[in-house]
A and B are shown apart, each in its own frame.
Chain A
Amino acid sequence: MDKVKGTVLQKGIVLGKLWLMPNNKIEVNGEDVLAQNTEEELEKYHRAKKSVLLELKELLEEENSVTGEELLSLHAMLIEDDDYIETIESFIHEEDYKAEVAIKKATETFAQAFLQLDSTYMKNRSADIEAVGNLLLQNLRGQKGMKVPSEQCILMTEELTPEDLLRLPREYILGILVTKGAPHSHLAILASNLGIPTLTGIAVAEELVGSTVALDGEEGEFIYNLSPEEEKQVVAKVQTKNQETAELKELIDAPSKTLSGKEIKVFANVGTDDDCKEAKENGAEGIGLLRTEFYFLSNETTSPTEEEQYEFYKKAAQSMEGKLTIIRTIDLGSDKSPSYLDMPQETNPSLGCRGVRFALAMGELFKTQLKALLRASAECKIGIMYPMIISVDEVRQCQKLLAEAREELRKNNIPFGTPLVGVMIETPAAALISDELAKEVDFFSIGTNDLIQYTLGVDRQNEQVAHLFDGHHNAIITLLTLVAANAHKEGKWVGICGDLASDLTLTEVFVKMGIDELSVVPNKILELRKRIRSIK
């Protein structure tokens, strides 16, 4: 058995016969470029354009995935783009180029223009114009039909345009191995939408054609030279995985209830609005932690404005369609600080000016964030959560600032709503005075990563002591139990948003202590829900 590592464009494990798709990228001869008859060449180009558009229209009619439809219409529009047409025509008319040379040169010109742009997304659009150019060239060369597999296979090829993929008989394509294909290319998006396991960065291996190979999109491996025994192992792995995935998928809309009917909500931890989408797709019942510091860090020169923040929070919360979205106020410290804020070096950042200490020290910056959150809560169900709290006084200072923010909005006639307000319990101090804190807020969310670090005095990044970082330690369980009891005494709810929330060996313990909500990364939601549903 041999393996090669690639980059995963779409997850999944498959086993099948390797089929090599001939590279249908048209090469244009660079020598014989001049036309005998320009009018004839123009005519040829227009005929090709018309026929490709017709073909795209036919594909569009048969296509039933939204991504596929969008892509085909985009490519049709590119072919019909006035600038593209004029450039090709003028290459034929004024430079006397043959149609195929004119198409190649115009395509290269526009592909280059896209490559000059800053963002990866826009750079990747050069592949779209190249795909369109290739369609025209294929048509000119009379290559209408392409070679397609006649049975189920794992397709291997150097480069695959989205059209190629759409034209292949989908039921035959078990998996795709390509040499070139960027993570944000349309091929990647399409493969992911169609759910076809795909790896990129795999060199074409002609000698393996026809042999049985495996594509492991969980590990990112292309596996070949399998012995019959190894094939069986892969088949078993595929079956287990498929069964697990199918079982988990059925739980997307299922309630997170134990067998005795106790409900414990499963929320998601996110940092971007893409994560929110993933959370929604995996059946999150809310967002338990939306981190905002990445958003502040990704801006290089200034902190995001109130308006920008408002749009960001609103967009994230709206994607949850009416479900609660808990947004944590900036949790920055000297170890993670944006360049536009001049923060002094600290010898011990984890015990330094961070979390709410930092936010309160910043004043206006914090108030701007609170205003944006208040505004977003006019339209969405939002919870505001303060990090690194150690005293009732800190909570009151935050609430005072929130009241000021509300007053300023009111004065300017800007609409705002009433968000829930909660605190992170991530210091032993907060856990021990949780009875007092519960009187001040609507909810608690326990940040176990820091709570363990501060309670046990262990830095999990430090290899020498990382093994001592233990969430099962009796001290941690005792603190969690105390926090849950204190919250419930005041009629407040309590969640866990640290890594410990996804530790399935503790789920039953959490249910017993009365934790109301567990917030985990989106791809762990369904496993956690399954675990909850198996508890008596």
Chain B
Amino acid sequence: MKEIVYTITDPVGLHARPAGLFVKEAKKFASTVTMFNGAKKADGKKLIALMLLEIKQGTEIKLEIAGDDEETAAAELEKFLKENL
């Protein structure tokens, strides 16, 4: 399992558009992707659940990625976070 910790810098947080893009990105991989906001967590491939985590600017999120392609998935998703959020 791979873990990524990232602090959201986008002023509106994980809003609808990037959340949608994130889901599309996560769905490219076979690995499971779980996003944590403190104690709350959501399946990274589900848009509504991700939006309901209400991740704001300055929030430190954690991603847990597990599966056969976890290496690539972790690298790609981390890149995605840095570029979009």
Contact = CB atoms under 8 A, between A and B. Distances in A.
Contacts, number: 46
A315 B54 CA distance: 22
Nearest to B23: A77
Contacts of A63: none
Interface in B35-59: 43, 45-49, 51-52, 54, 56, 58
A83 B49 contact: yes
Given A81-B47, A82-B46, A308-B58, A114 B52 contact: yes
B46 A122 contact: no
Contact of B51 (A114, A273, A307, A315): A114
Contacts of B11: 273, 315
Interface string B55-85: 0101000000000000000000000000000
B54 A83 contact: no
A534 interface: no
Contacts of B20: 73-74, 77
B54 A119 contact: yes
A179 to B, nearest CB: 24
B30 interface: no
A285 interface: no
A117 interface: yes
Contact of A77 (B9, B47, B54): B47
Given A77-B23, A110-B48, A113-B52, 13 more contacts: A74-B20, A82-B43, A83-B48, A113-B48, A114-B52, A117-B52, A118-B54, A121-B13, A121-B15, A125-B16, A128-B16, A129-B48, A311-B9
30 contacts: A74-B17, A74-B20, A77-B23, A77-B47, A78-B47, A81-B47, A81-B48, A82-B43, A82-B45, A82-B46, A83-B48, A84-B48, A110-B48, A114-B51, A117-B52, A119-B54, A119-B56, A121-B12, A121-B13, A122-B51, A122-B54, A125-B51, A128-B16, A129-B48, A273-B11, A307-B7, A308-B58, A311-B9, A315-B9, A315-B11
